[in-house]
Structure 1
Amino acid sequence: MHCVERWFGEGFAELHPLLQQLHREGGDLHGQVELQLGKGLAGKLGARLAAHLGIPMDRPQIPLKVNIHSSGDTLHWNRHFADAASMYSSFQPHGGWPDGYWIESTGGVRLALAVDVRQGGWYWRPLKAWVHGVRVPLWLLPRTEAYKRIDAGRYHFHVGFSLPLLGLLFSYSGALQLTP
């Protein structure tokens, strides 16, 4: 049994069948993603954050490939943005759904993320954060909104970063197809 299915337990059935399949079998997704920068100071901060992550913001759309697979008790998301950057994240499960969480590790940042299931979609909810091993209050970091759901048979996802009072820093989102 895949680590995602174990973590969700009976709640796994609440995910859309295509999300269930993706997390049971793993797979490669591909497609175009839309990039959006905030306005004014928020946009300048968003451009710096995107550059730090290696995401090219010089055009409104870029190709994205995502490989999703598990090894043992770890879920892996390997994202490849255009020809510019790769972002590797590993997720370690803690507890079980609905009260448990996942620890996402991406570079020097670790996030504890709960999962809310809405209409078959998977919505991340940040709980805690660490930067280079130091616990950081969430209010000091950009707010993160991230989800994956199925729309018209495609894997739709959204990742956005914002700050109170300033609004949107940047986001990327799109509808990806499973590579046969």
Structure 2
Amino acid sequence: MSVVERWFGADFTQLHPLLQSLHRKGGKLHGLVDLQLGRGLAGIIGARLATRLGIPAELARVAFQVDIHDTDNALHWNRCFADNATLYSSFQPSGNWPNGYWLESTGSLKLALAVDVHQGGWYWRPLKAWLHGVRIPLWLLPRTEAYKRIEEGLYHFYVGFSLPLLGKRLSYSGTLQLDNPAPAR
């Protein structure tokens, strides 16, 4: 049983069957993603964030792939934009759905993220944040919206960051196809 199945328990079936399969077996998804930067100061800040994440901010659409797999105690997402450097994230479960959360570690940033399920889709909701191990209030970070869901049999996702008063900093989204599925665990 995968770490995601254990975390959701009997409610794992609330996820769309294709998301269930991805989180049972793991897999690599690929496709094109649309990149959008905000305007003005938010766009300048968004371009800097994109560069730090390995996202080529000068392009509006790039090739993207993500390898999603789990170990006994963590979920891993390894993202690559335009064959650039890979952005590694690990997610450790805490508690169980619906009251538990995942602790995402990406570089020096850690986020505690709850999961909401809507029409079979997985929607992240930030709860807490740490930078270099120091707890910081969420209002100091960009607002984050992130989800994955199935649309017309394909994996659709969105990740967006915005700043109060300034608006959108950066977003990337796309519809991805599954490479050859991994064998069942």
TM over 0.5: yes
Show the counterpart of 1:140: 140
1:101-120 correspondence runs (5 A): 101-120=101-120
Letter in 2 for 1:154: L
Write out per-residue CA displacement over residues 142-179 of structure 1, whole angstroms, 9 at most, x where no aligned residue.
01100000000100000000011111001000000000
Q: Cα RMSD over matched residues?
A: 0.6
- The one-letter amino acid paired with 1:72 is D
Matches within 5 A, 1:150-165: 150-165=150-165
Deviations 1:45-99 (A, max 9, x none): 1111111111111111000110000011110000011122210000000000000
Q: 2: CA distance between counterparts of 1:10 and 1:125?
A: 21
SS in 1 for 2:135: strand
1:78 aligns with 2:78: yes
AA at the equivalent of 1:120: G
Q: Kindly state the Cα deviation for residue 118 of structure 1 after the two structures are TM-superposed.
A: 0.3
Equivalent positions of 1:62-101 (< 5 A) are 62-101=62-101
Instruction: Name the CA distance, whole Å, in 1 between partners of 2:89 and 2:53.
Output: 12
CA distance in 2, matches of 1:159, 1:42: 16
Number of corresponding residues: 180
Question: Counterpart amino acid of 2:21?
Answer: Q
Correspondence 1:29-68 to 2 at 5 A: 29-68=29-68
Q: Runs ≥4 in structure 1, deviation > 6 angstroms?
A: none
Provide the secondary structure at the position in 2 that maps to 1:83.
coil
- Matched residue SS, 1:58: coil
Looking at structure 1, the residues matched to 135 and 71 of structure 2 have their Cα atoms a distance apart, in angstroms, of 27
Q: Secondary structure of 2:24's partner? A: helix
For each residue in 1:115-151, what CA deviation from the matched residue of structure 2 results, as whole angstroms up to 9, or x when unmatched? 0000000000000000110101000000110000000
What SS is found at the alignment partner of 2:97?
coil
* Cα distance, 1:15 vs structure 2: 0.2
Deviation at 1:114? 0.1
Amino acid at match of 1:78: N
Distance 1:150 1:179 in 2: 16
Code of the residue aligned with 1:142 in structure 2: it is P
AA aligned to 1:106 is T
5+ residue gaps, structure 2? 181-185
1:167 aligns with 2:167: yes
